[in-house]
Amino acid sequence: MNLSVLKETHPLEARSALSPAAAKKLKKLGATILVESGAGAKADFLDEDFRSAGCEIVNTQQAWNADIVLGVNRPTSDQLKGMKAGSLLLSLFEPYAAKGELALCAEKKLDVIALESVPRTSRAQSMDVLSSQANIAGYRAVLEAIAHYGRFVPMMMTSAGMAKPAQLVVLGAGVAGLQAIATARRMGAAVEAFDVRPEVKEQILSLGAKFMDLDLGETGTGQGGYAKELSPEAKAKQQQLLTERLKKADIIITTANVPGRKAPTLITEDAVKGMKRGSVIVDMAAPSGGNCPLTEKDKIVEKNGVTIIGLTNYASLVPSVASDFFGNNLVNLLGLILKKNDSGVSKTLDLQDDIIAGCLVVHEGKVRFNQ
C-alpha cells in the first residue's frame, strides 16, 4: 500500500498536504510514502527533508498512480483522469461546486474523501482541516490588516503625544473569527465582534472583546456548529443595523460564510463610504463572493479611501506551519483507514464510522454527496 503527496499546481498555493514531520508519523502506520519532487518547496521543505523522514521522491506520473493520493486542493478533471481505478483521493474538494468532478470520479471508480466534509464532532477534531487552517487564516488576516493600516493599533503614550487604540470589528465568530479576535487583542486593538449565533457571545467575551448585540428577530444557528442562511427580512435588518456601527471602525475583518451558498453581504457600500480614510477591510469571505460587494477576489483595492483586501488563501501565507497542521489532520484521519495485517497494510473505508461516512463523497462508482 503506497500513499503519494502531490505537488500543488495552483499558482497561489504554497502548502503541501504533508510536512516531513507529519510524514514521520504517517510512516508508523506502515504505508510507503511517495512524495512528488518539489511538493514541499514553497513551504520550505526540501526533497531531502522528506527523504530523511523515510519518504521516496517520485515524478508526477508515479505520484498520481499511487493507491492513496494526498492533496491540498481539488485536482483538475485532467488530473483526476490520470488516477487509477480503485484509488483513494483525500483533499479539499469543494463538493458543492464540483458536480462534474464528482461524476467523473464515480465514473472512474475512484474513492474521494472531501476533507471539508469531516464532521465537526469532538472525536473528529484532530482530523478537522477546516478548523486547523481557519485558525491560521484568522491570525494571518489580522497581520494583513495591520500591515495596510497606517496608524498605531495599540494605545501609545509618548512625550510627543498619545495615539488611541484602533477600533477593530470582527464579523463572524467561527474558528477564524475567534482567532482574529484573540490576535487583535494581543496586538492591543479595541475589539468588537458580531455573529448571528447568539451562543458564541460567551466565547467572544472570554477573549476580551465586546459582543455586538443586534436584534435580528431570528438566529443563524445551523447544524454542526455552522451558521445557516438568514431569511431575506433578517438579512435586510442585519445590513441596516450593521451599517451605522461599521462606519466607526478603523479595521473590519469579515469571516461570515454559509456552506454551499454565496457569502452574505454584511458591509454595504454605504458603510464603506462612511468609514474614515485609511481604514481597512479584510474580507475573508472573498472565495465565496465576499461579505462586501466592493471586494475583488485576490486583489487589494482602495474604494473611497478604504483599503479592501480580498485575498483567498491566508493559510498559504504561513505555508510551513499550515502544511504541518494539514498533514497532522491527514495522519489522524488515515489512522481510521489504514489497517495493518499479516500481509502488510490495507485500506478500509468503514461506512459504519460516522467520520468516514460523513466525508466519503464518492465510493464504489457512486456519488454519496447530497447537496
For 192-207, how does the pLDDT look when each residue is reduced to its tens digit (9 = 90+)? 999 988 889 999 999 9
Residue in 176, 171, 172 with CA at minimum distance from that of residue 246: 171
Assess if residue 332 is contained within a domain.
yes
| pLDDT at residue 220, as a whole number | 62
User: Does 243 lie in the same domain as 220?
Assistant: yes
* DSSP per-residue codes, 161-230: EEEPPPEEEEE--SHHHHHHHHHHHHTT-EEEEE-S-GGGHHHHHHTTPEE-----SS--B-GGG-B-PP
> Catalytic site residue 240?
no
> Catalytic site residue 195?
no
| pLDDT at residue 213, as a whole number | 86
Assess if residue 244 is contained within a domain.
yes
Assess if residue 354 is contained within a domain.
yes
User: Does 323 lie in the same domain as 192?
Assistant: no
Q: Are 363 and 103 in contact (CB under 8 A)?
A: no
User: Does 177 lie in the same domain as 108?
Assistant: no
Q: Three-state secondary structure along 216-233?
A: CCCCCECHHHCECCCCHH
Given strand 190-194, what is the order of strands in its sheet?
A: 210-211, 190-194, 167-171, 251-254, 280-283, 306-309, 300-303
**Half-sphere exposure in the Cβ direction for 185 (13 Å, CA):** 17
- E strand or H helix that includes residue 268: none
User: Does 102 lie in the same domain as 165?
Assistant: no
Catalytic residue among 47, 120, 126, 320: 120
User: Does 297 lie in the same domain as 167?
Assistant: yes
User: Does 265 lie in the same domain as 289?
Assistant: yes
The boundaries of the domain holding residue 296 are: 134-317
| pLDDT at residue 343, as a whole number | 77
Catalytic residue among 4, 117, 131, 323: 131
Assess if residue 124 is contained within a domain.
no
Residue with cell 459504519: 352
Q: Which residues contact 135 (CB under 8 A, 6 or more apart)?
A: 175, 176, 179, 325
User: Does 165 lie in the same domain as 275?
Assistant: yes
- Residues of the chain with pLDDT > 90, as a percent, come to 84
Catalytic residue among 62, 125, 126, 239: 125
- E strand or H helix that includes residue 350: none
User: Does 353 lie in the same domain as 257?
Assistant: no
Assess if residue 92 is contained within a domain.
yes
Look up the CATH number of the domain holding residue 253: 3.40.50.720
Which residues of the chain carry a pLDDT beneath 50?
none
Q: Which grid cell is 26?
A: 504517517
Catalytic residue among 62, 226, 346, 353: 226
Assess if residue 26 is contained within a domain.
yes
> What is the crossing angle of helices 129-148 and 175-186, to 10°?
40
Catalytic residue among 128, 195, 283, 324: 128
Assess if residue 128 is contained within a domain.
no
User: Does 324 lie in the same domain as 313?
Assistant: no
Q: Which residues contact 354 (CB under 8 A, 6 or more apart)?
A: 119, 121, 123
> Catalytic site residue 120?
yes
Residue in 355, 335, 275, 334 with CA at minimum distance from that of residue 308: 275
User: Does 186 lie in the same domain as 246?
Assistant: yes
User: Does 108 lie in the same domain as 9?
Assistant: yes
- Asked which of 302, 317, 332 is the last residue of a domain, the reply is 317
Q: Are 21 and 327 in contact (CB under 8 A)?
A: yes
| pLDDT at residue 223, as a whole number | 61
> Catalytic site residue 343?
no
Assess if residue 129 is contained within a domain.
no
User: Does 209 lie in the same domain as 155?
Assistant: yes
- E strand or H helix that includes residue 89: strand 88-91
Domain count, the chain: 2
> Catalytic site residue 179?
no
